[in-house]
Amino acid sequence: MEQTLSIIKPDAVAKSVVGKILSRFEDAGLRIAATKKIQLSRADAEAFYAVHAERPFFGELVDFMISGPVVVTVLEGEDAMTKNRDLMGATNPKEAQAGTIRADFAESIDANAVHGSDSVENAAIEIAFFFAQKDIS
């Protein structure tokens, strides 16, 4: 069974659509193997998104990700990484297909409701960033 990491970002948490988003994962056959609501520190956000450190949007991305609590979740199931990305829709909600999480709940490319791992290799790294193995079941 494949695992992937989802982050419900501060905009979606503030809008109280956490339950709706988690339901979409479960309705698509993905199992919640671990989940928690946390406030990221600046150091956490900078480390998590280190791959984007040189991009012009890095500062805004980090500011946004620490603007309120997030919900981090390990999703498990067949093709979990790809399934989650299909459910999320395009990074820019204006380009996201109707019925996707970002089309339905996101406002902008910064406040885009959710993050999902973009490869199985990165999923393992991102899961380990937030969860100890004993917390995943």
**Based on CB atoms, which residue is closest to ligand CMP, 9 or 30?**
9
**Identified catalytic residue from 115, 116, 130, 131:** 115
Report helix, strand or coil for 19: helix
Residue type (1 letter), 79:
D
What are the phi and psi torsion angles at 25 (to 5°)?
A: -65, -50
Pick out residues in 31-70 that bind ligand CMP (CB under 6 A). 52, 57, 61
- Give whichever of 79 and 110 is closer to ligand CMP, judged by the CB atom: 110
CA distances from 119 to 10, 116, 133 (A): 23, 9, 19
Residues engaged in binding ligand CMP (CB under 6 A): 52, 57, 61, 91, 109-110, 112, 115
Enzyme catalytic residues: 115
